[in-house]
Structure 1
Amino acid sequence: MRQAGTTLCFDTAGRGLTDISSDVADWLSGTGMTDGLLTLLCRHTSASLLIQENAARAVRHDLMAWFDRIAPEGDHYRHDDEGPDDMPAHLRATLTGVNLQIPVARGRMRLGTWQGIYLAEHRRRPHRREVAVHMIGQ
Structure 2
Amino acid sequence: MSDAFTTRVLTVSTGSRERVVDLTRDCEAFLREAAGGRDGLLNVFVPHATAGIAVIETGAGSDDDLLAALHTLLPADDRWQHSHGSRGHGRDHVLPAIVPPHATLPVIGGRLELGTWQSVCLVDTNIDNHERKVRLSFLG
> What TM-score comes out, normalization by structure 2 length?
0.90
Q: Deviations over 1:60-84 (max 9, x none)?
A: 1111111111100222212111222
The AA in structure 2 aligned to 1:4 is: T
Deviation at 1:85, TM superposition (A): 3.2
3-state SS of 1:82 partner: coil
Residues 1-138 of structure 1 correspond to what in structure 2 (within 5 A)? 2-13=4-15, 14-31=17-34, 32-56=36-60, 58-125=61-128, 127-137=130-140
* % identity of equivalent residues: 26
In 2, Cα distance between equivalents of 1:23 and 1:127: 19
Q: State how many pairs are aligned.
A: 136
3-state SS of 1:54 partner: coil
The AA in structure 2 aligned to 1:129 is: R
Q: Name the structure with the higher strand share.
A: 1
Deviation at 1:33, TM superposition (A): 4.5
Structure 1 vs Structure 2 CA RMSD? 1.5
Q: Which runs of 5+ in 2 are unaligned?
A: none
The AA in structure 2 aligned to 1:63 is: L
Q: Is the 8 A contact 1:11 1:126 kept in 2?
A: no
Q: Deviations over 1:42-101 (max 9, x none)?
A: 110111100001341x11111111111110022221211122232111122220100100
3-state SS of 1:29 partner: helix
Deviation at 1:125, TM superposition (A): 4.5
3-state SS of 2:93 partner: helix
Q: Is the 8 A contact 1:85 1:124 kept in 2?
A: no
Q: Which runs of 5+ in 1 are unaligned?
A: none
Q: Is the 8 A contact 1:103 1:109 kept in 2?
A: yes
